[in-house]
Structure 1
């Protein structure tokens, strides 16, 4: 079944990614562009593509971290602090390491699964990976999203998040996604991250309606500099 046929029949489109390659990026953008074109919401392509790509990148990185630390089980006693462990992961990761972890991800079928569909005029996007978040990660994500929902822009977030030990690096993309969805007049109920003992799923729900378009265009006009 082609992309056009799936969209016309309102069938879910599923994208499997072991890494975020140019072909994966192209396919995500193509699917979103065709869906938004069908519903006359093309103007939403850039923020939605940016949001989905960020979630897929996060999911792929989570799988890579899982593989990385599984390979260091004999050194478990070193990782007494999860933040120190993540810092070590970032320091040791090079381009060749990422390519090697991509190979291992394929070998072990650890992938990010993106499902895109439209239900009752709502664009529903799920990005799932088979790597659960630990308690520290869940708390950090919940705190970020709560603060972000109260902010008007990323600068406001940094001012309000001075006490957030995890405001740098990982998870900051989630704040940007929240800001973009707020720019469409949406709330935290439209962006949910859920993790159990087997997997993590990030979900975005966007009504493809005139109200969403008007709110987004209003926000764009308010933030676009006016030339005298």
Structure 2
């Protein structure tokens, strides 16, 4: 089910949760309206399975993954527009991505993202007492970036606190991807979900997939 209409989304979500149908959100920027729909869907799923205690950490994970995807898409758009002159200059990338991902510029960025067909898709699916969450963006990762991401996930799985992780593993040039993924790993660990239930993959050509598997029993 693809959620589109603001007037009917709650009824559509309730029906989808009852039938255990796929729920899909398509976002072009991290707008509050999209977040509210995701919150509503997640809450209804967790209520059905008597696991509302998982709401805050799981929504925080989803929000981090959407933020990462939005940043990656924004970087690509700024490169295509020539705003980012040197994509290997992390300081320039961080500064210019942040300049458009603020409250004032989000709506304008969302229009640009739609024009460039740079969406973020969020899937929620319940199957055999597990909640499967997938966040997909239109930017592939190369082998070097994938190795870096997997290293961060593995390292952060040893920590119970995100602040401790970054004190031991500072990365002043990080574009946000490292922080977001490490945050997800630590949040999952704090609700007794192994980092093996969180996987980031890429097809190497058009997309990157962030997947979480949440036990509901």
Q: Shared fold (TM-score greater than 0.5)? A: yes
Q: CA RMSD in A?
A: 2.3
Is the 2:91–2:173 Cα contact (8 Å) retained in structure 1?
A: no
CA distance in 1 between counterparts of 2:29 and 2:175 reads 23
Task: Kindly provide the CA deviation profile for residues 174-222 of structure 1, in whole angstroms up to 9, marking residues without a partner as x.
Answer: 111111111122212111111122100100100002xxxxxxxxxxxxx
Q: Is the deviation greater in 47-56 or in 167-176? A: 167-176
Q: 1:183 aligns with which of 182, 187, 190?
A: 190
CA distance in 1 between counterparts of 2:100 and 2:142 reads 21
CA distance in 1 between counterparts of 2:18 and 2:136 reads 24
Q: 1:171 aligns with which of 174, 178, 183?
A: 178
1:149 match: 157
Is the 1:64–1:102 Cα contact (8 Å) retained in structure 2?
A: no
Q: How many residues align?
A: 205
Q: Normalising by the residue count of structure 2, what TM-score does the alignment of the two structures yield?
A: 0.84
1:21 Cα shift?
0.9
1:108 Cα shift?
2.7
1:32 match: 42
2:13 match: 3
More helix by share: 1
Q: Is the deviation greater in 42-51 or in 126-135? A: 126-135
Q: Say which one has the larger Rg.
A: 1
Q: 1:104 aligns with which of 103, 112, 118?
A: 112
CA distance in 2 between counterparts of 1:5 and 1:127 reads 22
CA distance in 2 between counterparts of 1:22 and 1:80 reads 29
Task: Kindly provide the CA deviation profile for residues 12-66 of structure 1, in whole angstroms up to 9, marking residues without a partner as x.
Answer: 0000000111110100100000000000001110011111111112112211111
SS at match of 2:141: coil
Cα distance change of structure 1 residues 149 and 165 upon mapping to structure 2, 3 Å threshold: same
Q: Normalising by the residue count of structure 1, what TM-score does the alignment of the two structures yield?
A: 0.80
1:89 match: 96
Is the 1:140–1:166 Cα contact (8 Å) retained in structure 2?
A: no
Output aligned runs, 1:120-131, within 5 Å. 120-131=128-139
Cα distance change of structure 1 residues 24 and 160 upon mapping to structure 2, 3 Å threshold: same
Structure 1 residue ranges, 4+ long, deviating more than 6 angstroms after superposition:
none
1:71 Cα shift?
1.2
1:19 match: 29
CA distance in 2 between counterparts of 1:6 and 1:205 reads 19
